Amino acid sequence: MNQLVKKPVRTISGVTPLTVVLKPRKCDHGTCIYCPGGDSVPQSYTNKSPAIMRALALSFDPYQQVMNRLDVLKKMGHPTDKIEIIVLGGTFLQYEIDYQHEFIKRCFDALNGKDSKNLEEAKKLNEISEHRCVALCIENRPDNCSPSEIRRMLEFGCTRVELGVQMPDDEIYKKTNRGHSVQDVIDSTKRLKDAGFKIGYHIMPGLPYSNREKDLKLFRMIFENENFRPDQLKIYPCQVVDDSPLAKTYKIIKFKPYTEQEAKEIMEEMMRIIPEYCRVMRMMREFPREKLIEGIEKLDLRKDIEDDLRKNKEKIKEIRMREVGFNKNVDVKVKLKTTEYDASGGKEYFLEFVNKKSILFGLLRLRVFKNNAFVRELHVYGKAAIIGEKSDESQQHKGIGKLLMHEAEKIAKENKIKKLKVISGVGVREYYKNLGYNLEKNYMVKEI
């Protein structure tokens, strides 16, 4: 932990992300107009993106990709004991089912450093492996979240689903060839939350047929209307990228993407709207410059936006700006804060350990609906710590996680719930076992 870490932001929230890219495949509905992709690269990526070039060189083999990344991450000084697998490219749930199973199994095999007979065995081995999969994220479309698809994602050990939402408006969906409706977004959001998943939305301001007012109105709706209310966002302003349908038509339809200044202003406004329970994971897609036909070249716009907001001492509630790892000289005295809100027909309890200035040290998302209660996320912030080892720089082993779980159990009991379920990355099951939870149908469960 004392060695120099290149790109520390990658692991500052406690977990090391590792992306694995799917083999190329076209989406079933066709192509969304802004989406690049060709026959040799996965949909929504270009052949000049570093992640894709790496995957191409390894023939998109998931095992090799994971091994290769583990090696690189280690060399860069990142911890590799707690890994979040992120599945990228196209719509995973539309691939042949055998491919999906094999893909995930091979990711686990690589983390385990050992081949297994089947996915279940690979997951079991990973519970005590050197490189534990503490979270698994699948990028998905809102119309690929049927009950059976949700069961499959649970079998894969998935904990987080990122939905391509862009801007929830049926007219925009139609004109941009999204191939699904706003109702699909509402239904999938509910089903995913009811299964305990953490949900991220991909948001795309500046689409053709939208404008600043419309974008902000729709963005406000995402949080004002309880049918949406995602836990996380990625905000990617629309760009004209080579190999996309828009690249061929943008001149004919007289489309102009947002300028850097326009995008900056609109994303600043979005940051002011985001409530305390939502985290912005990313701003700006990193398209290689040579593939960008029209759009914003500055990729680290987020830094400018956050610097502005901090300089002007604006009260931003968004999670990442409040995380202890992204703030300097913080007071470590914290107290528990609970925010209740309605979402998708259930009640959400957002528990946080924060100091007086709302700097965040840990959070838990509890969902209660009908006779069910799910812990959808437990996260303690700070520099990634090695499992079982104490680290002065980290808050990870100071019991905040246990205190949050204790509070969640208390609230569940008050709601007359008999069993609390946790959606847990395979590699975190041991942690919950120590708190009295047992594995039951892909969840860690405790009678309370």
Q: Which positions from 135 through 154 interact with ligand SF4, judged by CB under 6 A?
A: 141
CB 90 → ligand SF4: shortest distance, Å?
Answer: 5
Output 93 or 321, the one with its CB closest to ligand SF4: 93
Work out whether 281 is an interface residue with ligand SF4 (CB under 6 A): no
Least spacing, CB of residue 304 vs ligand SF4, in Å: 26
Q: Site for ligand SF4 (CB under 6 A): how many residues?
A: 10
Q: Which of 21, 35, 167, 384 binds ligand SF4 (CB under 6 A)?
A: 35
Return the number of the residue (67 or 292) whose C-beta is nearest ligand SF4.
292
- Nearest Cα to Cα of residue 189 among 140, 137, 136, 134: 140
Contacts 24+ apart (CB under 8 A), 144-153: 144/91, 144/93, 144/94, 144/188, 145/187, 145/188, 145/191, 145/192, 146/191, 147/191, 149/93, 150/191, 150/192, 150/195, 150/197, 152/93, 152/97, 152/100, 153/93, 153/197
**Amino acid occupying residue 436:** G
Q: How many CB atoms lie within 10 A of CB 20?
A: 25
Tell me the closest approach of the beta carbon of residue 25 to ligand SF4, in angstroms.
9
Under rule CB under 6 A, residue 442 binds ligand SF4: no
The piece of 26-34, 109-117, 258-266, 378-386 that touches ligand SF4 (CB under 6 A) is: 26-34
Nearest in space to 205 (alpha carbons), one of 197, 193, 213: 213
* 200 touches ligand SF4 by CB under 6 A: no
Least gap, CB of 163 to ligand SF4 (angstroms): 10
Termini Cα distance of the chain: 38
Q: Which of 360, 249, 248 lies closest to 14, judged by CA? A: 360
Binding mask 53-92 for ligand SF4 (x = CB under 6 A): -------------------------------------xx-
Which one of 164, 196, 362, 382 is in contact with ligand SF4 (CB under 6 A)?
A: 164
Under rule CB under 6 A, residue 396 binds ligand SF4: no
Would you say 192 or 364 has its CB closer to ligand SF4? 192
Interface stretch with ligand SF4, choices 16-24, 25-33, 123-131, 301-309 (CB under 6 A): 25-33
Residues near ligand SF4 (CB under 6 A): 27, 31-32, 35, 43-44, 90-91, 141, 164
